[in-house]
Structure 1
């Protein structure tokens, strides 16, 4: 059997070992790649490199290897000694990465049937300073289902802000940070009215849209002329799973899915004087990474003018997309009440509302995506596992030299 080896420090050690059945090395040819696992070359407090990669001689090479129960020790030609955990070496083989560093839980797409058992967690459990289980449950709900309720929350802006700050830092935008508003058009946005809002994602016009969004209804008072029996004030809230919509579109109309995935769309925020926001580039409605859905960007009100050469094709696909969104089977309607906060993944779940009468007071905030992901992983996985994954993050994209990597296996 011919085994193809690439030149790096780990590979040279593996190459001198008894050949595992069907194994090939996955390592990079860049010698610094192997050094980053060395406990002497990486500051163990900051997890940052403490050497200048580019000061390494190009011809540096291993001169000796020795094994211990926990690591491989390498003696280099420049007299440096490095230690590399077996777990790190193992992670480069098929199946090893997930085994060593774990993987995020499988996401569950949903339709209107989620109303039978929506995910929720108690406020006191999330705020418990002695136990992170409540926070772990909350962030897991949001990751897996795209949203979660936090029940029994004190109906005050102070309690709501404390809850959201525990999830992660509040993101400040041109709307401010923590918001507490009534429908008075204080800002030029339909959200600040009592009109109905179709399902959409927020901040499509940012290069990085808001990660999480939260709403807490503090009060809803009837208009002055309402009769005592006029208790149906409206204002039901709507959630739609954008990933469910995307997967449904892909099944029913693959061509429309590909259109919304590939055609770039301009987005903008231009309603307030002195503010003119657009992303760093145009973005499609559906974003994925090597076939895995990563983000939905959808707000027809904030969409710019399409490229005239793609407009007909895009509108046809968007019409099908919109039809799936508006199916009753896609919609989860519920009534927000004081004490019941909803927090949802703005990269995945679209939200909206029905029109309402009277004055509603709502508070909430945005949370940056990266901070949410950190909170989710840190409360649901061991810290060292999370750090190991961060240091060794790998692209989902196929390797440039697929032939070299596609058959990588570990010895049994």
Structure 2
């Protein structure tokens, strides 16, 4: 999947792109492409090398499990994050200014089944403009604080060190990812796959074309 990052990326912490991922700083857990109308479905990271330093551990949180936790503990906060208040943007580079066709909530639910199907969360890419009253904005920040606290709970966080030769592939609509700060020189590669393309291939391989056509 081609994006403002290219197709298949190969990068270091050289700030070639004005993005936190191109630094050595720690990254809080987030989903990628919150500023896309249609964020990438699958994402892959592959650590090619890390020399003369330490740190840089990958951090993962299951967004669906975190959302279920928030729903159980604070239903008002969950309901607040189902409403669109902020949009997102990518505008750090001179040739890039991306924003979605509309603002999206943190939790997206199917209008037919009401099932949660996508989590969209990135503190670094949130825009400054909001579409709510000051009272609703205060409610949103309170809900976001409760959500952020859950995302940092040890029981939900998985932290590990990537090794050369072991790519990490995950669902960007569900899994939040981050990274601890590091020293030394790291080289990473990776890429995206569109969600619709992934689901199409998955269903054809697992159900067969005849069954998939019957479900249309």
Class of the TM-score when normalised by the shorter of the 2 chains:
over 0.9
Q: d(CA) in 1 for partners of 2:193 and 2:156? A: 25
Indicate whether 1:210 and 2:33 are aligned. no
Q: Normalization by structure 1: what TM-score?
A: 0.50
From the CA coordinates, give the structure whose radius of gyration is larger: 1
Q: d(CA) in 1 for partners of 2:164 and 2:96? A: 33
Q: d(CA) in 1 for partners of 2:179 and 2:57? A: 5
Q: d(CA) in 2 for partners of 1:265 and 1:242? A: 19
Indicate whether 1:261 and 2:87 are aligned. no
Aligned partner of 1:350 in structure 2 is: 176
Shift of 1:383: 1.9
Q: How does 1:108-257 map to 2 (within 5 A)?
A: 171-222=1-52, 233-257=54-78
Indicate whether 1:329 and 2:159 are aligned. no
Aligned-partner SS, 1:282: coil
1:303 equivalent among 120, 126, 132 = 126
More strand, by proportion: 2
Q: d(CA) in 2 for partners of 1:264 and 1:244? A: 23
- Determine if contact 1:220/1:360 at 8 Å carries over to the other structure: yes
Q: d(CA) in 2 for partners of 1:346 and 1:265? A: 20
Q: d(CA) in 2 for partners of 1:298 and 1:201? A: 5
Aligned partner of 2:164 in structure 1 is: 338
Q: d(CA) in 2 for partners of 1:360 and 1:239? A: 19
Output one character per residue of 1:375-410: Cα deviation in whole Å (capped at 9) or x when no partner. 111111122111222xx3xxxxxxxxxxxxxxxxxx
Q: Normalization by structure 2: what TM-score?
A: 0.95
Shift of 1:307: 3.3
Q: d(CA) in 1 for partners of 2:83 and 2:179? A: 29
- Determine if contact 1:263/1:314 at 8 Å carries over to the other structure: no
Structure 1: runs of 5 or more not aligned: 1-170, 224-232, 393-412
Q: How does 1:62-141 map to 2 (within 5 A)?
A: none
Aligned partner of 1:165 in structure 2 is: none
Aligned-partner SS, 1:337: coil
Q: d(CA) in 1 for partners of 2:47 and 2:201? A: 25
The count of residues paired between Structure 1 and Structure 2 equals 211
Shift of 1:311: 1.2
Q: d(CA) in 2 for partners of 1:244 and 1:303? A: 23
Output one character per residue of 1:341-395: Cα deviation in whole Å (capped at 9) or x when no partner. 1101111100001001111111110100011001111111122111222xx3xxx
Shift of 1:263: 3.2
Aligned partner of 2:106 in structure 1 is: 285
Output one character per residue of 1:293-327: Cα deviation in whole Å (capped at 9) or x when no partner. 11000001101123351210100000000000011
1:294 equivalent among 117, 128, 133 = 117
Return the structure number with greater relative CO, CA threshold 8 A, min gap 6: 2
Aligned-partner SS, 1:294: strand
- Determine if contact 1:241/1:330 at 8 Å carries over to the other structure: yes
Q: d(CA) in 2 for partners of 1:329 and 1:261? A: 24
Aligned partner of 1:385 in structure 2 is: 211
Q: d(CA) in 2 for partners of 1:365 and 1:249? A: 31
RMSD: 1.1
Aligned partner of 1:312 in structure 2 is: 138
- Determine if contact 2:118/2:173 at 8 Å carries over to the other structure: yes
Dislocated runs of 4+, deviation >6 Å: none
Aligned partner of 2:188 in structure 1 is: 362
- Determine if contact 1:296/1:348 at 8 Å carries over to the other structure: yes
